[in-house]
A = this chain, B = another copy of it.
Amino acid sequence: MELRIDPSTVDRCRALARAIVSPVSDFIAAHSTVAVERSVLRLLGVDGVGADEIPVPNLILDGLSAQDRSRGVAVAFGRGLAETGLAPAALGAAIAAGTVRLADFADVPEAAARGVLAPFVAASLARIRERRAEREERLERLPQLPPPLLYVIVASGNIYEDRTAAVAAAEAGAQIIAVIRSTGQSLLDFVPFGPTTEGFGGTYATQENFRIMREALDEAGEREGRYIMLTNYASGLCMPEIATMAAIERLDMLLNDSMYGILFRDINMKRTFVDQHFSRMLNAYSGIIINTGEDNYLTTADAVEQAPAVLASQFINEAFAHRAGMPDRQIGLGDAYEISPDLEDGFLYQVAQAQLTRQIFPNAPLKYMPPTKHMTGDIFKGHLIDAMFNLTSVMTKQTIHLCGMLTEAIHTPFLGDRVLAIENAQYVMNTARHFGDEIQIKPDGIIERRAQGVLTGCDALLERVAEIGLMSAIEAALFADVKRPPDGGRGFDGVFERAPEYWNPFEDALQGATV
């Protein structure tokens, strides 16, 4: 199956996306955020919470002067290490306990700070490389089934029930487990701590939850003879911190979109741009596949109309990811099956879009999201819409396949719902395994013309964005009909200009690192 699309239009779109991202990258290079700095601390080994359950990295950042902050937390913290002789974790605890104040070490020479940090930085990176090697070893030993990789979510709000659900799903055939975050975690400017037993609509992304789940899935993987991947959400106010935790706990994927927070969570755009960049550098290094969030365009507006915006966003996400050093094989661009089930030939449009994405991004592990918006309490009909989605996915060779739940409109999935969803995908994908290979698309037919139209629309959109610049384009509501001012939205106060002497030891190490 192959669509005839104009390669020069594709090239032009890619070039436009690069041009769009370029000035934003300059901005990024000149700024940092509290979340980036907190993740530097976490990388160094700082963890835990202080009074009022405030995480130690937050306490440390909150305690920095604006000037210290603008130089990067590393130097100030390094001074403390050099002076106290404590390990990073202990120093963090001491600061949290109020027994030590970083401000007191302002006089320690910068060189000393840098020197004392070096081994911790090296050890931290070595640890990440180790986790990465561990993943590779396991994948070698416990190979996954061929794609589409069945991906399901757990979201009970209790990590222990989530674990039960995840292990059951793995046994039923799931290859990737996502733990959905508790409602609105992306708006928290800190990462909660410890195991969660009471979340709303999901379970907090915490390092302990990551660990509990990783351990359970490793066991399940050994039992099943297949490595089970674990994923969570980065996008939000804590992208780099979650990327850090994920690297350490060997998550395999992360939701990480360069614009999701801006458009769909009203997070400040500058904050998001800076955060996504550092988080993706970490993701790249830790071998984590990112999943972008283009599905959100489709759930909040008309899916037929939004198709060019989805493609444009994929190009932009790709360009940002390349900037952060990600290879194509780690860039899981998103798409979703959200066209109304009542539209005549809607399936044809879906096939067109899915195949278009597949051809334009041949090496990307595409992430295909299920129908959600048009799902209703009619679980029987819902199961069928999911089946057509499953068929489209196998026909167009999507890589990461989020299984749709027949109860999507009702509740976060029950254990039994998840099994039915997996069985749906298994049945459809097996009975139609090579269908995509065995058919050709009619030249100039409905499907091909739709795909060409989407590409043309994307080209036009990117051209406009390139003209006025990405930040202004977002301000002009060119994406998802949502209007966001450059200095509005949450988390803007956490963005700051880098002082000339700004230093982030991890950024330096990661820049140009190849694994």
Residues of A within 8 A of B (CB): 341-348, 380-381, 383-385, 387-388, 391, 406, 420, 423-424, 427-428, 430-435, 437-442, 445-447
Cβ–Cβ contact A442 & B431, under 8 A: no
Residues from chain B with a CB closer than 8 A to the CB of A447 are: 438-439
In the assembly, how many copies of this chain are there?
A: 2
Cβ–Cβ contact B439 & A347, under 8 A: no
CA distance A423 to B428 in the complex (A): 19
21 contacts between A and B (CB under 8 A): A341-B427, A341-B431, A342-B430, A343-B431, A344-B433, A345-B432, A345-B433, A345-B434, A346-B431, A347-B431, A381-B423, A383-B384, A384-B424, A384-B427, A384-B428, A388-B431, A388-B432, A437-B442, A437-B445, A438-B441, A439-B439
CA distance A280 to B434 in the complex (A): 42
Cβ–Cβ contact A348 & B384, under 8 A: no
Closest 8 CB pairs of A and B: A347-B431, A440-B440, A347-B432, A438-B445, A439-B439, A346-B431, A438-B442, A384-B387
If A383-B383, A428-B388 touch, whether A446 touches B434 (CB-CB below 8 Å) is: yes
Residues from chain B with a CB closer than 8 A to the CB of A445 are: 437-438
Since A348-B432, A383-B384 are in contact, a sample of 17 more A-B pairs with Cβ atoms closer than 8 Å, ordered by chain A residue number, is: A341-B427, A341-B431, A344-B430, A344-B433, A345-B432, A346-B431, A347-B431, A347-B432, A380-B424, A384-B387, A387-B388, A434-B446, A437-B445, A438-B442, A438-B445, A438-B446, A440-B442
Cβ–Cβ contact A347 & B385, under 8 A: no
Closest chain B residue to A342, Cβ basis: B430
If A387-B387, A439-B441, A440-B442 touch, whether A348 touches B380 (CB-CB below 8 Å) is: no
Residues from chain B with a CB closer than 8 A to the CB of A433 are: 344-345
Which of A385, A428, A432 has the largest count of B CB atoms less than 10 A from its CB? Answer: A432
CA distance A343 to B433 in the complex (A): 10
Residues from chain B with a CB closer than 8 A to the CB of A424 are: 380-381, 384
Residues from chain B with a CB closer than 8 A to the CB of A387 are: 384, 387-388
CA distance A234 to B438 in the complex (A): 40
CA distance A458 to B384 in the complex (A): 35
CA distance A406 to B378 in the complex (A): 14
Cβ–Cβ contact A420 & B388, under 8 A: no
CA distance A238 to B140 in the complex (A): 67
Residues from chain B with a CB closer than 8 A to the CB of A348 are: 432, 434-435, 438
Whole-angstrom distance between the Cβ of A438 and the nearest chain B Cβ: 4
Which of A385, A438, A441 has the largest count of B CB atoms less than 10 A from its CB? Answer: A438
Residues from chain B with a CB closer than 8 A to the CB of A380 are: 383, 406, 420, 423-424
CA distance A431 to B350 in the complex (A): 10
CA distance A384 to B403 in the complex (A): 15
CA distance A344 to B437 in the complex (A): 14
Which of A387, A391, A435, A440 has the largest count of B CB atoms less than 10 A from its CB? Answer: A387
Whole-angstrom distance between the Cβ of A2 and the nearest chain B Cβ: 11
If A385-B427, A432-B388 touch, whether A439 touches B442 (CB-CB below 8 Å) is: yes
Residues from chain B with a CB closer than 8 A to the CB of A441 are: 438-440
Whole-angstrom distance between the Cβ of A445 and the nearest chain B Cβ: 4
Residues from chain B with a CB closer than 8 A to the CB of A446 are: 434, 438
Cβ–Cβ contact A347 & B442, under 8 A: no
CA distance A485 to B447 in the complex (A): 55
Closest chain B residue to A349, Cβ basis: B431
Residues from chain B with a CB closer than 8 A to the CB of A406 are: 380
CA distance A433 to B431 in the complex (A): 21
Whole-angstrom distance between the Cβ of A93 and the nearest chain B Cβ: 52
CA distance A385 to B426 in the complex (A): 12
CA distance A345 to B437 in the complex (A): 11
Residues from chain B with a CB closer than 8 A to the CB of A434 are: 345, 348, 446
If A387-B387, A440-B442, A442-B438 touch, whether A427 touches B381 (CB-CB below 8 Å) is: yes
CA distance A430 to B384 in the complex (A): 13
Closest chain B residue to A420, Cβ basis: B380
Residues from chain B with a CB closer than 8 A to the CB of A435 are: 345, 347-348
Which of A434, A445, A446 has the largest count of B CB atoms less than 10 A from its CB? Answer: A434
Whole-angstrom distance between the Cβ of A218 and the nearest chain B Cβ: 30
Residues from chain B with a CB closer than 8 A to the CB of A385 are: 427
Residues from chain B with a CB closer than 8 A to the CB of A342 are: 430
Whole-angstrom distance between the Cβ of A428 and the nearest chain B Cβ: 7
Residues from chain B with a CB closer than 8 A to the CB of A420 are: 380-381
CA distance A214 to B433 in the complex (A): 45
CA distance A435 to B440 in the complex (A): 11
Whole-angstrom distance between the Cβ of A206 and the nearest chain B Cβ: 34
Whole-angstrom distance between the Cβ of A96 and the nearest chain B Cβ: 51
Cβ–Cβ contact A440 & B438, under 8 A: no
Residues from chain B with a CB closer than 8 A to the CB of A432 are: 345, 347-348, 388
